[in-house]
Structure 1
Amino acid sequence: MKSLIVSGLVSVLVALGLAGCAGNRLSDTDRLALYQAHAGAPVKQIRYMEPIGWDRIDDQHLVLQMRPQESWLLRLMAPCLNTGSGSPFLGVSSFNGMTLTRFDKVVVPGGHISCMIDEIRPLDVKALRAAETMLREKPHASGT
């Protein structure tokens, strides 16, 4: 079994890049709807390599970024991504170390349980970024 921990600095940078301005931050519910609208059909497995970042959407969903233009929306079997410990790290446990499938696990260090992956969906990163930009600019456009 292979476990990887994504560095805290990369995680923070990715989270900031995906979240944009803090003043216009979307709610978890709105962010999940946005990600789901730009996600493809579920896949059985993906080629697994060291992720360059991750972003928590809510206690049951996260985005795993493998390359700058390759991200995946993961839904976990149960809400268990409680990052109340403030840990900027995420562990991913792949059964064979070469692919990531349903039933592989995600764990936040310091947490007492691991979260089994229920679904993996590819994200259209370019369309997602364009939609996020449009949503953030919308309040500014109406105020002028």
Structure 2
Amino acid sequence: MKGTPTAALAAIALMALQGCATTGMTEAEKLATYRAAAGEPVSSFTYLGRISGWTPLDDEHIAVWTRPKEAWLLSFSGICQDIEFTPMIGLTSQGSRVYAGFDKVLVDSPNSMRLPCRIREIRPLDVTRIREAEKAAREEAQDASSGT
């Protein structure tokens, strides 16, 4: 039974990665979209031990969904090794909260280690705005590929 949560997290992570690949955006456009949809920095957010999705944006930023309509832009203190390629991540937390400057994203590396990436900044994301921008980018990419 222990493998079930890990398998579920891996499946969610894979779906998140597949979703990003189909947005029609470059990495830079995707990061710009998420930054534009981010609110002011906050010191922490509630974390009940479950991630409903995540999107690597580059080696210094990741979007993490804690609920289907609640997401956070996390910026790291430096480069987060393997974040763009890992099948799974985890979060450290203190008393059901994740704190900027203290907590970390744990990245499963190819050598079976969990590499910690310290969270420098947390910003709430406007999920509706992101979905609309990604939909528009997909439609634009589809129009370009069909020649219209």
- TM-score normalised over the length of structure 1: 0.82
Displacement after TM superposition at 1:97 (Å): 3.6
CA distance change for structure 1 residues 56 and 111 in 2, over 3 Å: closer, same or farther?
A: farther
In structure 2, the residue matched to 1:7 is 9
Which SS does the other structure have where 1:51 is aligned? coil
In structure 2, the residue matched to 1:135 is 137
What number of residue pairs does the alignment pair up? 136
In structure 2, the residue matched to 1:64 is 64
Query: Residue 87 in 1 paired to residue 89 in 2?
Result: no
Residues 93, 104 of structure 1: 8 Å contact kept: yes
Which SS does the other structure have where 1:25 is aligned? coil
C-alpha separation in 1, matches of 2:33 and 2:114: 30
Q: Aligned-pair RMSD on alpha carbons?
A: 2.3
Percent of aligned positions that are identical: 35
Write out the 4+ residue segments of structure 1 that deviate beyond 6 Å after TM superposition.
none
Residues 76, 115 of structure 1: 8 Å contact kept: yes
Q: What CA deviation, in whole Å up to 9, does each residue of 1:105-137 have, x standing for no partner?
A: 112123464111001111111111111111222
Residues 42, 122 of structure 2: 8 Å contact kept: yes
Displacement after TM superposition at 1:83 (Å): 4.1
Moved more, 104-113 or 42-51: 104-113
Matches within 5 A, 1:1-144: 7-17=9-19, 19=20, 21=22, 25-49=24-48, 50-83=50-83, 86-94=85-93, 96-102=94-100, 103-109=102-108, 110-111=112-113, 113-141=115-143, 143-144=147-148
- TM-score normalised over the length of structure 2: 0.80
Residues 45, 101 of structure 1: 8 Å contact kept: yes
Displacement after TM superposition at 1:81 (Å): 3.5
Unpaired stretches in structure 1, ≥5 consecutive residues: none
C-alpha separation in 2, matches of 1:129 and 1:47: 22
